Amino acid sequence: MTKSAELTEIRNRAIPKAIFQTTPCVIDRAVGSTIFDVDGHEWIDFAGGIGVLNAGHCPESVVLAIKAQAEKFLHACFHVSMYESYIRLADKMNQITPGDFDKKTFFSNSGVEAVENAIKIARKFTGRPAVLCFENAFHGRTLMGMSLTSKTMPYKSGFGPFAPEVYRVPFPYAYRMADGDQAAANQKSLDAINMAFKNRVDPESVAAIIFEPVLGEGGFVPADASFFNELRKLTQSYGILTICDEIQTGFGRCGELYASEIFQIDTDIILSAKSMASGLPISAITGKSEIMDAIQVGGLGGTYGGNPLACAAALATIDLFETTPMLEIARETGHIVREFFNDLQKQHTCIGDVRGVGAMIAMELVENRKTREPAPEKTSALSAYCSRQRLCTLSAGTFSNVIRILSPLNIEKKNLKKGLDIIAAGFRQL
């Protein structure tokens, strides 16, 4: 029996079956975009720990920063003893996040904790209870996160009741709403929001609208600058705050440090996590100072939020983005993937749409391009083929019919080509 098989057998005995695996890989070590499993096999990583490893596995400077911090202290709890890395990181986040206004930042452990805290802050600041969110959105697995998340199976089924005063409106999904016409999809979404204000929720009771600039788990669906501009005008007319969830789109994934820069999104609160610390658990809630300071002392925080190791890793990761051409490389990687997928689309009629921004690129698989009938079985078969070839991939979308790329932004060219060639070969097997 291989070590992978042995560990998988133990895993099946010890861990709930609800914990899904996308590949049978049991990792031993990793560097860059290469994973080495416990049996000595090499895997190419197109998943990046679900968007966490934009700077690659184990970037040297980040590892060194973690080691240096580990030799000093592992934990203090910022509420008890302040430490420099937390303070420096908060100051840095205020500098690098979009928005020309005074900001303040605090830290939690995960993306969904950032979401929960942002909703708390918005409700306290506005004195309003309701929240708007979008269809096909994913905001996490806690109570509020599930309530905001759109997809029922597997994320919400059987877990209700959910948080009240959450209202869902259509995201401008051009491929499925308007035959690919983004402007028409934008208008349909805005019209739906206006209608929701007439027959579902009083806009004067809405604290905030939360959205991803590009839907992540929802299938890498982008809107455009025009939509976000009109959305801001509409919501601001009612005093509704904007919470921009950049947990997956941030830290270079879309070709700029934040997708908000690309779409010129005017935000009140912006959320960061995933690739912020190259794999260590941390998230940031950054907002306008007057909003962040509206909370009573003791109203925000947590035992592990802004852990010293994670803060050190985040500072080193930000330094990588500031001192290396990471963003330029990300745009180049995205261009290569998009062109490759466009060529595949010409060859295979089951590829209905190729879309995305920067290095956040995906393709949607369909049974029929005319009807756009989703093809989840084909998507699953393609993922399984890639896994057999030791390529880690991820599916996404409401219908689980989207293949998305979340490889390290600086993936080695040979691994990028080899991985894309495996995907191409997989299509020939469908």
pLDDT tens digits, 146-165: 999 999 999 999 999 999 99
**Angstrom distance (rounded) from CA 394 to CA 38:** 21
Residues 247 and 228 in one domain: yes
Query: Please, are residues 146 and 128 in contact by the beta-carbon 8 Å criterion?
Result: no
**Angstrom distance (rounded) from CA 261 to CA 99:** 9
Q: Give me 420's structure tokens.
A: 């894309």
Mean pLDDT of the chain: 97
Residues 351 and 267 in one domain: no
Q: Give me 156's structure tokens.
A: 């919400």
Mean pLDDT score, 135-149: 97
Q: Does the residue 63 lie in any domain?
A: no
| pLDDT tens digit sequence for 362-421 | 999 999 999 999 999 999 999 999 999 999 999 999 999 999 999 999 999 999 999 999
pLDDT of the residue at 6: 96
pLDDT of the residue at 102: 98
Residues 185 and 294 in one domain: yes
> How many C-beta atoms lie closer than 10 Å to residue 91's C-beta?
12
Three-state DSSP state, 99: coil
Burial category of 300 from C-beta neighbours within 10 Å (exposed 0-12, middle 13-18, buried 19 and up): middle
The model's pTM? 0.96
Q: 49: domain range?
A: 3-58+325-429
Continuous H helices in 127-201: 143-148, 174-177, 182-199
Three-state DSSP state, 202: coil
- Among the three residues 272, 306, 323, which one is the final residue of a domain in this structure? 323
Residues 317 and 334 in one domain: no
Domain CATH code at residue 423:
3.90.1150.10
Q: Does the residue 158 lie in any domain?
A: yes
Read off the pLDDT band of 332 (50, 70, 90).
very high
Read off the pLDDT band of 112 (50, 70, 90).
very high
Domain CATH code at residue 245:
3.40.640.10
Mean pLDDT score, 265-277: 98
**Angstrom distance (rounded) from CA 106 to CA 264:** 24
Report CA-CA distances (Å) from 53 to 279, 305, 314: 6, 20, 12
Residues 53 and 166 in one domain: no
Contacts of 19 by beta carbon, 8 Å cutoff, 6+ apart: none
Read off the pLDDT band of 136 (50, 70, 90).
very high
| pLDDT tens digit sequence for 44-82 | 999 999 999 999 999 999 999 999 999 999 999 999 999
Residues 186 and 212 in one domain: yes
Q: Give me 94's structure tokens.
A: 């205020």
pLDDT of the residue at 377: 98
pLDDT of the residue at 164: 97
**HSE (side-chain half, CA atoms, 13 Å) at 8:** 15
| pLDDT tens digit sequence for 169-222 | 999 999 999 999 999 999 999 999 999 999 999 999 999 999 999 999 999 999
Residues 177 and 150 in one domain: yes
> How many C-beta atoms lie closer than 10 Å to residue 209's C-beta?
25
Looking at the structure of the chain, the number of domains it has is: 2
- Among the three residues 293, 323, 353, which one is the final residue of a domain in this structure? 323
